[in-house]
Amino acid sequence: MTTNTVFLLFCAVLLVLGGVAFTLSRAKASRVRATGTAMHAQPDQYAWFAVLATAGPALLVSALGAFALLLMGAEIPTLYLLSASLIIATIGLVMGLSQVRPDFHARRAIEGVIRKLLAAAAMISILTTLGILLSIITEALRFFQMHSFWDFVTGTTWNPGASFLSAAGRGEEGGSAAQFGSIPLFAGTFMITLIAMLVAIPFGLGAAIYMVEFAPMRIRKAAKPVIEVLAGIPTVVYGVFAALTVAPLVVDIAGLFGLDASYSNALAPGLVMGIMIIPFISSLSDDVINSVPNSLREGALALGITKGEMVRNVVVPAAAPGIISASLLAVSRALGETMIVVMAAGMRPNLTANPLEDMTTVTVSIVAALTGDQEFESAQTLSAFALGLVLFVVTLTLNVVSVFMIRRFREKYRVNNL
Amino acid sequence: MSQSFEEISAQLKKRHRRSARMKWMTMGALILSAAFLVVFISDMVVRGWPAFQQAQLQVEVSYDEQSQKLPLAAVDEDVRPLISRGFFRSLPREMENNPELMGTTQTRWVIADSRVDQFLKGNEDRLRPADKETLQALVEDGRAALKFNTTFFTTGDSKMPELAGIASAAIGTVMTMLVTMAVCFPIGVMTAVYLEEFAPDNRLTQLIEININNLAAVPSILFGLLGLAIYISFFGVPRSSPLVGGLTLALMTLPVIIISTRAALRSVPDSIRHAAFGVGCSRWQVVRDHVLPVSLPGILTGSIIGLAQAMGETAPLIIVGMVAFIPDASISITDASTVMPAQIFTWASEPNSAFAEKTAGGILVLLAVLIFLNALAVWLRNKFERRW
Amino acid sequence: MNDTTLQNFQTQQDPPTASKDAARDPYTQAPTPDKGQPVTRNENVEENLSVRVRDLNLWYGDHQALKDISIDIFANTVTALIGPSGCGKSTFLRCLNRMNDLINSVSIKGLVEMDGHDVNARGMDEVALRRRVGMVFQKPNPFPKSIYENVAYAPRMHDMVSRKADQDELVERALRDAGLWNEVKDKLHEPGTSLSGGQQQRLCIARAIAVRPDVILMDEPTSALDPISTATIEDLMDKLKKDFTIVTVTHNMQQAARVADYTAFFHLGEMIEYNATKQMFSNPHTKKAEDYITGRYG
């Protein structure tokens, strides 16, 4: 018998047992009820409890068994495991049936199980974070065993290409050794992020201010969905746009000024990433500016202040913590953005301040390290996790600071509203 | 002491001008942002439109013994270089499947080579002079034309641009999204229900909440690293499969669904809960029978938006190897597969310029699906939005 | 107050800015001679007219919130607007400095006249109007800036001060006038929001008087405050009327009786009675006002 058949058979038997549990216990509960005895729960609730008692432990045992089989390499024949589960299911059925008693709180028992299930689901998000952290940190540590952390942080040359030689035990004869100095990668990342922010913050903030403070309702209603559409465009599409349309355009325009630009210049992905982030900043700032209390606006206008002065001197300063918080989130997004830079930025680590040259970023290097035909143990593959760790720490810090600021902003206005 | 209205108004002129300037500048920001969308979409349409057209040639195909062995012999020598190699490859199988064709000569439209396609679309001219003459003669006879490209929607990836299509990527996307939603919808809704309706206000709950907010802002590529290290290396899930891609995207989409579901649950007024408690419902019954039905549209809206986001995601899938070359899709979640954005990525990095239009065409299809999904979400929200 | 801003009521029979639609012009419809005048004038007091309102109607969409309001507001007096909630008194107050412009669906007909100008006229700059008609709101709303900056901000924008010393002097005077100087002189650069509710409200009053308006509108200025702060602000209103015309909305009849020279009673968007406060509370002319004052409803 193949595994699939066994598995199907197991499911079918379990289903049948569950059905039996349901019918039997409901019939029993109905009989008891018919005698006029007051029961703590409805017959259906007893029936569902019996089903839970049948299927729950059996599934748990088989899942644990499967886990042990896969991970610990334990030698448990599948057939034994499944038969054991089925026996447990039968025992559960009998137990469930015997619990059909007037004084048993079947509903409370079911709800206890449901509550635990819900809590277990909530723990998955914690597990995810732990998973990310664990996977990145362990692999990054392995990387730092091979290459010094100090070189990684302070080195100015990123040249992982030769690392497969040393992985193959031929590091000595491979000529130049692999170098993992991450500074050029971070320089490229910050350059592109900076360009993106120079585009995104003025435009996003301007659009938000216009929508909240000046635009008539009609325009506001029309513009919001447009901005939402902009936010829903996948990054790979922006990447194509950056590589196919904007990059050649940048080269042409630079040529007009007599400047020499690379086709994978840093300006094109920066600009397009900025455009990508406009809706992000604009919708966050929109919320923030909207939540500046109207009483402040009225207070300013009642002093004979013009609308523009009111926006500049009262509304924007009041919203500033929220706007800064939105901008930090946007920076964090730009740092972690992958597709645009993979498609439009260069692959050559390049420490330069000229955005017309090609530069590479942290995310590009992660992708490059993991898409080649490398074996998992090589330093190049592991370097991706070291870079990922830094990326995680930086974005996490930005997020935490941003959450902290937005919370202070909200508290301030709750207090001020008395 | 006090000035007259005339005096004040005169002083105000400059300030009003400055205020108006601010209004125009912010309006300009909005208009430019919207203008970008127009430029962007029109750029994609102009680039991608040709992908929906395909050059075809009307030629005489002779089905005989010789062409079964040597398919190239089925057509005249001079048009041979103009016809897609893919056509010749499919010829023997076609003859096997339709024995009645044997010995006949059919005049039929066949797919042209991509050089012909590009030439007819006015893109680039890589044809040899002799072939070009033949082609021009065919065009004059009306035997070479651009027709609607059904191949694009029915085939998978191919090294021959004229045969490359998005079907296998579309199937891969569907399989991956099925896995994603099957995992993250129940878990997300359950988490949200727990946090909103059941959780005690303690440290653990706060930790979960902070954690979810942070998870929502973790760069997507890091989920790819998680998928690679945990699913593939640790659990041994097959690389490049919709299963691993879907599981990775599920974790990424989870916070979106949790946050929107919580918002939907929170918008249900407490008066409804109190009313239900008042008639003796237990907490779970209140949630199941009163809160969830009322908040369902909001939950669905959030899930659709999460789905659309996952559907457009590429970076984590590259890391788990879902940028494979997949000519024929298989309907299994453990076989190697690709998804639409990854297909676009693959085509975009092809040096052959005939793939550029495929790239833009794929983008148009993807955007159409995503805009449809988003519009559906907006429509759902507007239709069922309730103000309490 | 100088003579150009406040003119005698008698000289104002012909408004300089007549409404375009002559048929609807309140003056061509021959109003009763003293329409809008209080039923009983305060005796032995020379009073100049500050704001004159004739047949003011206001709609929120289709809902008419004010019906044919006519009232004369005299300079250097405190006029209280009383009435049950939702009667339109706040709405009326906000017509005087066109704060209702901020609401989309509002339409207004009728005359609000100040210094010989129809404030609703097309050529009237609402920013200029608001500079002359200040406002204090129900909830204190200091800007999220320092105490000093809260007061100095608007005068600086209005170019009322050029030197730092002038500005300091202006801030001190406004804070003194608002009775707040002694409490805050040592912490002028702390945020305005750090003050207590009553202090915040006096800061808002200082902010309003710093631009030297003619009229100060107060929209239930004490409803969010404790009794002691309320008493302080009531005293303040009494002092301020020397320099300013004050129109206050209150839902507290005792407050009206304590601070106001004139009281107008609003009910369901109509002005039922306008009278000297003493008269209003001792011997109102209308049944409705009497019922309200004696607590039958409201």
**What residues in B contact C131, CB-CB < 8 Å?**
8
| A301 Cβ under 8 Å from any chain C Cβ | yes
In chain C, DSSP finds a helix count (H) and a strand count (E) of 10, 10
Mutate: best of A212, A301, A303, A408, partner C, most C CBs <10 A: A303
| C289 Cβ under 8 Å from any chain A Cβ | no
Is the pLDDT confidence value at C25 over 50?
no
Confidence grade of residue A3 (pLDDT, cut at 50, 70, 90): low
Q: Using one digit for the tens of pLDDT, what is the confidence trace for B125-136?
A: 778 888 888 888
Is the pLDDT confidence value at C249 over 70?
yes
Paired tokens of C122? 């097309």
pLDDT of residue C32: 46
Average pLDDT for C23-29: 41
Distance between CA C163 and CA C153 in Å, rounded? Answer: 14
Quick one: B119 and B20 in the same domain? Answer: no
Task: Judge whether B276 and B210 are in contact, CB under 8 Å.
Answer: no
| Helices B167-193/B340-348 angle, 10° precision | 130
Is the pLDDT confidence value at C2 over 50?
no
pLDDT of residue C167: 93
DSSP helix/strand/coil, C78? strand
Is the pLDDT confidence value at B4 over 90?
no
Residue B161: inside a domain: no
Task: Judge whether C133 and C97 are in contact, CB under 8 Å.
Answer: yes
For C115-254, list the strands marked E by DSSP.
Answer: 117-118, 133-136, 215-219, 245-249
Instruction: Find residue B57's DSSP bridge partners.
Output: B110, B144
Share of chain B above pLDDT 90, in %: 27
Contact A299 C204 (CB under 8 A): yes
Paired tokens of B167? 């079907």
Closest Cα to residue B331, out of B156, B81, B145?
B156
Quick one: B118 and B208 in the same domain? Answer: no
Contact B226 A233 (CB under 8 A): no
pLDDT of residue C298: 62
User: In terms of CA atoms, which chain B residue is nearest residue C214?
Assistant: B2
Sign of CA dihedral B317, B322, B328, B332: negative
Quick one: B88 and B135 in the same domain? Answer: yes
**What residues in C contact A297, CB-CB < 8 Å?**
102
Residue B334: inside a domain: yes
Confidence grade of residue C13 (pLDDT, cut at 50, 70, 90): very low
Is the pLDDT confidence value at A281 over 50?
yes
Average pLDDT for A267-296: 92
Quick one: B301 and B320 in the same domain? Answer: yes
The chains in contact with chain C, meaning 3 or more Cβ pairs closer than 8 Å, are: A, B
| C54 Cβ under 8 Å from any chain A Cβ | no
Domain residue ranges of chain C, discontinuous segments joined by +: 9-293
Residue B162: inside a domain: no
Share of chain A above pLDDT 70, in %: 89
Quick one: B35 and B76 in the same domain? Answer: no
Q: Using one digit for the tens of pLDDT, what is the confidence trace for A93-128?
A: 777 777 777 677 777 777 888 888 898 888 888 888
Mean pLDDT of chain C: 84
In chain B, DSSP finds a helix count (H) and a strand count (E) of 16, 3
Contact A237 B366 (CB under 8 A): yes
Distance between CA A77 and CA A89 in Å, rounded? Answer: 19
Residue with the larger pLDDT of the pair C40 and C254: C254
Domain that holds residue B109: 52-155
Task: Judge whether A309 and A171 are in contact, CB under 8 Å.
Answer: no
pLDDT of residue C34: 59
Contact C145 A302 (CB under 8 A): no
Is the pLDDT confidence value at A178 over 80?
no
Contact A336 B36 (CB under 8 A): no
Average pLDDT for B103-108: 83
Q: Specify whether the backbone of C86 is left (phi greater than 0), alpha (psi in -120 to 50) or beta.
A: left
Confidence grade of residue C27 (pLDDT, cut at 50, 70, 90): very low
Is the pLDDT confidence value at A28 over 90?
no
In whole angstroms, what separates CA A347 from the centre of its chain? 25
3-state secondary structure C188-217: CCCEHHHCCHHHHHHHHHHHHHHCCCCEEE
Average pLDDT for A307-335: 93
Distance between CA A160 and CA A380 in Å, rounded? Answer: 6
CA C200-C206-C211 angle, to 5 degrees, is: 140
Distance between CA A416 and CA A288 in Å, rounded? Answer: 16
Quick one: B305 and B216 in the same domain? Answer: yes
Mean pLDDT of chain B: 87
Confidence grade of residue C151 (pLDDT, cut at 50, 70, 90): very high
pLDDT of residue C263: 93
pLDDT of residue B386: 66
Instruction: List strands edge to edge, sheet with C215-219.
Output: C133-136, C215-219, C245-249, C78-82, C262-267, C270-276
Task: For residue B338, give the amino acid letter.
Answer: T
**Maximum Cα interatomic distance, chain C, rounded to a whole number of Å:** 60
Quick one: B87 and B174 in the same domain? Answer: no
Residue B193: inside a domain: yes
pLDDT of residue A413: 66
Confidence grade of residue C4 (pLDDT, cut at 50, 70, 90): very low
Domain residue ranges of chain A, discontinuous segments joined by +: 3-117, 179-416
Average pLDDT for B118-129: 80
Chain C residues near any Cβ of chain B (below 8 Å): 1-2, 4-5, 115, 117, 124-125, 127-129, 131-132, 157-159, 212-214
In whole angstroms, what separates CA A148 from the centre of its chain? 30
* Range with top average pLDDT, A156-170, B319-333, C11-25: B319-333
Average pLDDT for A131-149: 87
pLDDT of residue B28: 94
C6 contact partners, CB below 8 Å, separation of at least 6: C48, C49, C50, C75, C115, C214
Contact C131 A412 (CB under 8 A): no
Average pLDDT for A183-205: 93
Confidence grade of residue A376 (pLDDT, cut at 50, 70, 90): low
Confidence grade of residue B2 (pLDDT, cut at 50, 70, 90): low
A179-416 CATH fold: MetI-like fold (1.10.3720)
Across the interface, which of C2, C117, C213 has its CB nearest the CB of B5? C117
Confidence grade of residue A70 (pLDDT, cut at 50, 70, 90): low
Closest Cα to residue B177, out of B299, B307, B372, B365?
B307
The CATH label, of 3.40.50.720, 3.40.50.300, 3.20.20.70, 1.10.40.30, for the domain at C9-293 is 3.40.50.300
A305 class by beta-carbon count within 10 Å (0-12 exposed, 13-18 middle, 19+ buried): buried
CB contact residues (below 8 A), chain A span 201-240, against chain C: 217
Residue B160: inside a domain: no
pLDDT of residue B41: 87
User: In terms of CA atoms, which chain A residue is nearest residue B284?
Assistant: A111
| C130 Cβ under 8 Å from any chain A Cβ | yes
**What residues in B contact C125, CB-CB < 8 Å?**
5, 8-9, 12, 16
Number of folded domains in chain B? Answer: 3
Paired tokens of B280? 């003796």
Distance between CA B264 and CA B253 in Å, rounded? Answer: 17
Is the pLDDT confidence value at A256 over 50?
yes
Residue B303: inside a domain: yes
Is the pLDDT confidence value at C8 over 60?
no
Distance between CA B4 and CA B81 in Å, rounded? Answer: 89
Distance between CA A407 and CA A321 in Å, rounded? Answer: 9
Average pLDDT for A332-354: 86
Closest Cα to residue A137, out of A335, A389, A314?
A389
Across the interface, which of C2, C4, C128 has its CB nearest the CB of B8? C128
**What residues in C contact B17, CB-CB < 8 Å?**
none
Contact B15 C157 (CB under 8 A): yes
Distance between CA A210 and CA B19 in Å, rounded? Answer: 12
Contact A302 C99 (CB under 8 A): yes
Distance from CA of C192 to the nearest CA of B (A): 26
Contact C125 B2 (CB under 8 A): no
Distance from CA of A371 to the nearest CA of C (A): 52
B193 contact partners, CB below 8 Å, separation of at least 6: A118, B261, B265, B287, B292
Distance between CA A260 and CA C231 in Å, rounded? Answer: 75
